[in-house]
């Protein structure tokens, strides 16, 4: 049933009010998202975001009339099955919120996977019968073992970048495989008058946090060993110096103990009293025997 003019006006007014209320605005795609999964995601995220879903012309009209010039930057991201997402979360947290709330669904004919779709070898829950032909048509080697149908070896049923065939979709469904992830895909986020593309917001949070922690540890180590003083490094530098001093003391004590003697501190020589004569060294001082005259050093030559 088509919406009345009054309903359209009310919808536009509601979107305009949301655009004035929330600081962060995003355009997201719900293409290929089943209604059941859309409802679940909307319910899980409603404490953090408001999703406005409606005709693209009405959403664009609300953007034009809301009085915010910065929001007009998002008009180029509208397309088939797009919605407005409004929140006070920052751009990265908003993207991560929807990234965490995705669902897995069965493959449909015509869908294009980003990675190879592989069926692993092993027992299945299928009962013997015509299903063996279906498996063969999908490129799987299978045989009957007792009451079970067994896949003999791993096989790629759909290559990355190629559309899913009807035969592959049929077999994957019977095997209970759900190879596709579906969710609300953020295309662009407006924050502080700047637009961030969704692909630029897709980061590995755990790896990013680990990298920050590693950089912090390395910077602290550098500050300690280079003796760069700050609130973090100062107590570590002092502790390091104390440990090094204890190590030196332990080495000195060990050396003294191995020689079996105590090393006395060397005392400085006391200065001589003023006016005292200096004595000649023992080897230079010679006394004449009493009663003996010194011999003449000069001897006359015989003529």
Q: What is the pLDDT of residues 90-128, one digit of tens each?
A: 999 999 999 999 988 889 899 889 899 999 999 998 888
Give the Cα separation of 281 and 302 in Å (integer): 40
Residues near 34 by Cβ (< 8 Å), separated by ≥ 6? 105, 182
Which pLDDT does position 16 carry in this prediction? Answer: 96
Q: What is the pLDDT of residues 236-248, one digit of tens each?
A: 999 999 998 999 9
End-to-end, the C-alpha distance of the chain in Å comes to 162
Residues near 122 by Cβ (< 8 Å), separated by ≥ 6? 150, 151
235: left (phi over 0), alpha (psi -120 to 50) or beta: alpha
Tokens of 292: 């003996």
129: left (phi over 0), alpha (psi -120 to 50) or beta: left
Q: H or E segment at 95?
A: helix 91-100
Q: What is the mean pLDDT of residues 72-86?
A: 94
- Name the pLDDT band for 220 (thresholds 50, 70, 90): very high
Rg (CA), the chain: 45
- The rounded mean pLDDT for the chain is 85
Q: Is the separation of the CB atoms in 79 and 59 below 8 Å?
A: no
Tokens of 241: 């110096």
- Name the pLDDT band for 292 (thresholds 50, 70, 90): very low
Which pLDDT does position 11 carry in this prediction? Answer: 95
Q: Is the separation of the CB atoms in 126 and 149 below 8 Å?
A: yes
Which pLDDT does position 256 carry in this prediction? Answer: 82
Candidate from 146-150, 179-183, 207-211, 260-264 with smallest mean pLDDT: 260-264
**CATH, domain range 117-181:** 3.90.105.20
Which pLDDT does position 302 carry in this prediction? Answer: 44
What does residue 187 show for φ and ψ, rounded to 5 degrees? -95, -40
Which pLDDT does position 63 carry in this prediction? Answer: 95
Q: Is the separation of the CB atoms in 94 and 186 below 8 Å?
A: yes
Give the Cα separation of 74 and 184 in Å (integer): 17
Q: Domain ranges for the chain, please list them.
A: 5-102+183-202, 117-181, 210-257
Predicted TM-score (pTM) of the model is 0.61
The C-alpha angle with vertex 115 and arms to 127 and 187, in degrees rounded to 5, equals: 120
Q: Which CATH class is domain 5-102+183-202?
A: alpha beta
The C-alpha angle with vertex 215 and arms to 213 and 217, in degrees rounded to 5, equals: 70
């Amino acid at each position: 049933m088509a919406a009345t003019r009054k309903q359209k006006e009310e919808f536009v007014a509601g979107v305009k009010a949301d655009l004035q209320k929330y600081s962060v605005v995003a355009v997201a795609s719900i293409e290929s998202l089943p209604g059941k999964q859309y409802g679940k995601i909307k319910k899980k995220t409603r404490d953090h975001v408001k999703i406005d879903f409606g005709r693209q012309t009405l959403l664009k009209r609300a953007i034009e009339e809301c009085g915010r010039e910065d929001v007009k930057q998002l008009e180029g991201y509208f397309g088939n099955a797009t919605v407005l997402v409004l929140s006070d979360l920052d751009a990265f947290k908003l993207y991560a919120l929807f990234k965490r709330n995705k669902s897995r669904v069965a493959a449909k004919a015509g869908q294009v996977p980003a990675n190879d779709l592989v069926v692993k070898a092993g027992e299945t829950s299928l009962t013997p019968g015509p299903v063996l032909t279906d498996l063969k048509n999908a490129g799987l080697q299978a045989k009957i073992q007792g009451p079970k149908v067994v896949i003999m070896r791993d096989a790629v049923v759909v290559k990355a970048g190629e559309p899913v065939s009807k035969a592959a979709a049929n077999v994957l469904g019977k095997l209970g495989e759900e190879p596709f992830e579906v969710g609300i895909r953020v295309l662009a986020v407006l924050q502080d008058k700047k637009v961030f593309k969704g692909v630029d917001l897709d980061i590995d949070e755990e790896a990013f946090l680990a990298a920050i922690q590693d950089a912090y540890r390395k910077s602290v180590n550098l500050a300690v060993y280079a003796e760069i003083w700050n609130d973090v490094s100062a107590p570590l530098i002092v502790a390091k110096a104390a440990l090094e001093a204890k190590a030196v003391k332990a080495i000195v004590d060990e050396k003294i103990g191995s020689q079996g003697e105590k090393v006395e501190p060397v005392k400085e020589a006391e200065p001589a009293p003023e006016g005292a004569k200096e004595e000649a060294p023992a080897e230079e001082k010679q006394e004449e025997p009493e009663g003996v005259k010194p011999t003449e050093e000069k001897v006359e030559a015989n003529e």
